[in-house]
Amino acid sequence: MTIACRPARREDVAAIVRLLADDGLGAEREVVSDPPGEGYLAAFDEIAANPRALLAVAEDAAGRIVGTLQLTFIAGLSNHGAELALVSAVRIDSSLRGQGLGEQMMAWAMDEARARGCASMELLSHASREAAHRFYERLGFAKSHVGMKRTLD
């Protein structure tokens, strides 16, 4: 199955939220509706206006949104000022997994990051997502770091 990846448009937001919710860990925190809630649209507008963010979708041949991911480009002082790309919120339609869509989407994301001159790409993946870790290892990522989180109240 071949997909086309491109930056997300505002009319994709409902489909993206559906993908975020279509997931063991995200199901309880997202609110799926069409049209999407104002919070999601406001977040989309902020991401779209940010030159260092790229929210992307993957479309199938019929124009249906079947995947999403987000890139954040971070200019650090380290490594002589090289930018790195953080990839997050990677989701594939659960009915279409195992068909190479994730590989195609991540290959596109890595090409986008290279085109900007990014020296590296990184991500946090929940410790319980062992299939995802193997997927990223096949794509050349190493589990070299721990990913730590806390809520802020």
CA 143 to CA 61: how far, in whole Å?
34
CB of residue 34 to a second copy, shortest distance in Å: 14
Cβ neighbours of residue 60 under 8 Å, at least 6 residues apart? 1, 3, 66
When the beta carbons of 95 and 144 are compared against a second copy, the nearer one is 144
95 touching a second copy, by CB under 8 A: no
Q: Name which position in 32, 60, 89, 100 contacts a second copy (CB under 8 A).
A: 89
Residue of 34, 39, 43 whose CA lies nearest to 11 = 34
Q: Where are the alpha helices (DSSP H) in 33-73?
A: 38-48
**Interface size with a second copy, residues (CB under 8 A):** 65
The interface mask with a second copy, positions 10-39, x = CB under 8 A, is ---x--xx--x-----x--xxx-----x-x
94 touching a second copy, by CB under 8 A: no
Alpha-carbon separation of residue 110 from 57, 76, 107 (angstroms)? 14, 19, 5
Report yes or no: 84 and 122 within 8 Å, Cβ to Cβ: yes
148 touching a second copy, by CB under 8 A: yes
Residue of 73, 124, 133, 66 whose CA lies nearest to 94 = 66
Tokens 């079947």 locate to 66
CB of residue 153 to a second copy, shortest distance in Å: 8
Q: Which range of residues in 56-64, 93-101, 126-134 is near a second copy by CB under 8 A?
A: 126-134
- Contact residues for a second copy, defined by CB under 8 A: 13, 16-17, 20, 26, 29-31, 37, 39-40, 42-44, 46-47, 50, 52-53, 55, 70, 72, 74-81, 85-86, 88-89, 110, 113-114, 118-127, 133, 136-137, 139-153
